Chains A and B, each alone.
Chain A
Amino acid sequence: MERERDRAGAPLSAIAPLSAPAAIAVRLRQVTAGYSARIALDEVDLEIAVGSLLAVIGPNGAGKSTLLKVIAGLLLPFSGTVEVLGGAPRAVAKRIAYVPQAEMVDWSFPVTVGDVVMMGRVPLIGIGRSPGKQDRAAVDAALETVAMAGSRNRQIGALSGGQRRRVFLARALAAEPELYLLDEPVTGVDVTTQEDLMRILGAESDAGRTVVATTHDLASAAHHFHQVAFMNGRIIASGPADLVLDPALLTATYGGHVIVLPAGDRTIIDDAHHHDDAPTGERHFHDGAG
Chain B
Amino acid sequence: MVDFLVGPMAYGFMQRGLVAAILVGIVCAVMGAFVVLRGLAFIGDAVSHAAFPGLVIAYMLGIPLYIGGAVAAVGTALAIGAVARRGALRFDTAVGVLFAGTFAFGIVLFSTIEGYVADLFSYLLGNVLGITFADIIQIAILGGVVLLVVALLRKELLYASFDQAGAAASGLPVVTLDYLLLGLVGVTIVVSIQAVGIIMVVAMLVTPAATGQLLVDKFWDLVKIAIAVSIVSAVTGLYVSFYLNVASGASIVLVETLLFALALLFSPKSGWLVGRRRGRRAEELQAVARPTVDI
Binding site for B on A (CB under 8 A): 36, 69, 72-74, 90, 93-94, 96-100, 104-106, 109-112, 115-116, 119-120, 122-123, 125, 127-128, 155, 171, 175, 181
Whether B218 sits at the interface, judged by CB under 8 Å, is yes
- Chain B residues 54 to 94 lying within 8 A of chain A, measured CB to CB, are 87
B156 touches A74 (CB 8 A): no
Residues from chain A with a CB closer than 8 A to the CB of B221 are: 110
Residues from chain B with a CB closer than 8 A to the CB of A74 are: 165, 168-169
Residues from chain B with a CB closer than 8 A to the CB of A155 are: 217-218
B161, B163, B216 pick with most chain A CB within 10 angstroms: B163
A100 touches B172 (CB 8 A): no
A119 touches B218 (CB 8 A): no
Contact of A125 among B151, B155, B167 (CB under 8 A): B155
A69 to B169 Cα, complex, angstroms:
8
Residues from chain B with a CB closer than 8 A to the CB of A36 are: 87
B163 touches A119 (CB 8 A): yes
Contact A115-B170, Cβ < 8 Å, known A106-B162, A110-B37, A110-B213? no
Residues from chain B with a CB closer than 8 A to the CB of A181 are: 169
A161 to B46 Cα, complex, angstroms:
37
- Chain B residues 164 to 200 lying within 8 A of chain A, measured CB to CB, are 165-172
Whether B219 sits at the interface, judged by CB under 8 Å, is yes
Q: Across chains A and B, which 10 residue pairs bring their CB atoms closest together, nearest first? A: A93-B171, A98-B169, A155-B217, A72-B169, A128-B152, A119-B159, A123-B170, A123-B171, A94-B171, A122-B155
Whether B246 sits at the interface, judged by CB under 8 Å, is no
What is the distance, in angstroms, from B84's C-beta to the closest C-beta of chain A?
A: 14
Residues from chain A with a CB closer than 8 A to the CB of B258 are: none
Known: A104-B163, A122-B170, A128-B153. 13 other contacts (CB 8 A): A73-B168, A73-B169, A93-B169, A104-B165, A112-B218, A119-B158, A119-B159, A119-B162, A119-B166, A122-B156, A122-B172, A125-B155, A127-B153
Residues from chain B with a CB closer than 8 A to the CB of A120 are: 170
Residues from chain A with a CB closer than 8 A to the CB of B151 are: 128
Residues from chain B with a CB closer than 8 A to the CB of A106 are: 37, 162
A74 to B175 Cα, complex, angstroms:
11
A98 touches B166 (CB 8 A): yes
A99 to B166 Cα, complex, angstroms:
6
Whether B222 sits at the interface, judged by CB under 8 Å, is yes
A115 touches B171 (CB 8 A): no
What is the distance, in angstroms, from A210's C-beta to the closest C-beta of chain B?
A: 14
Q: How many A-B residue pairs have CB under 8 A?
A: 87
Residues from chain A with a CB closer than 8 A to the CB of B170 are: 93-94, 96-98, 120, 122-123, 175
Residues from chain A with a CB closer than 8 A to the CB of B165 are: 69, 72, 74, 98, 100, 104
Number of chain B interface residues as a range: 20 to 34
A116 to B159 Cα, complex, angstroms:
8
Contact A105-B218, Cβ < 8 Å, known A110-B213, A123-B172? no
What is the distance, in angstroms, from A107's C-beta to the closest C-beta of chain B?
A: 10
A111 touches B219 (CB 8 A): yes
A96, A98, A104, A110 pick with most chain B CB within 10 angstroms: A110
A122, A127, A181 pick with most chain B CB within 10 angstroms: A122
A120 to B158 Cα, complex, angstroms:
12
Contact A110-B152, Cβ < 8 Å, known A94-B170, A97-B169, A98-B166? no
Residues from chain A with a CB closer than 8 A to the CB of B217 are: 110, 112, 155
Chain A's closest residue to B155 (CB) is A122
Residues from chain B with a CB closer than 8 A to the CB of A69 are: 165
What is the distance, in angstroms, from A71's C-beta to the closest C-beta of chain B?
A: 9
Contact of A110 among B163, B166, B168, B219 (CB under 8 A): B219
B166 touches A100 (CB 8 A): yes
B163 touches A105 (CB 8 A): yes
A110 touches B169 (CB 8 A): no
Chain B's closest residue to A96 (CB) is B169
B222 touches A110 (CB 8 A): yes
A94 to B170 Cα, complex, angstroms:
5
Chain A's closest residue to B221 (CB) is A110
A109 touches B37 (CB 8 A): yes
What is the distance, in angstroms, from B214's C-beta to the closest C-beta of chain A?
A: 10
Contact A116-B169, Cβ < 8 Å, known A111-B219, A122-B155, A125-B155? no
Residues from chain A with a CB closer than 8 A to the CB of B167 are: 119, 122
Contact A90-B171, Cβ < 8 Å, known A109-B162, A110-B222, A171-B166? yes
A122 to B157 Cα, complex, angstroms:
10
Residues from chain A with a CB closer than 8 A to the CB of B161 are: 109
A119 to B171 Cα, complex, angstroms:
12
A233 to B282 Cα, complex, angstroms:
51
What is the distance, in angstroms, from A82's C-beta to the closest C-beta of chain B?
A: 13
Chain A's closest residue to B151 (CB) is A128
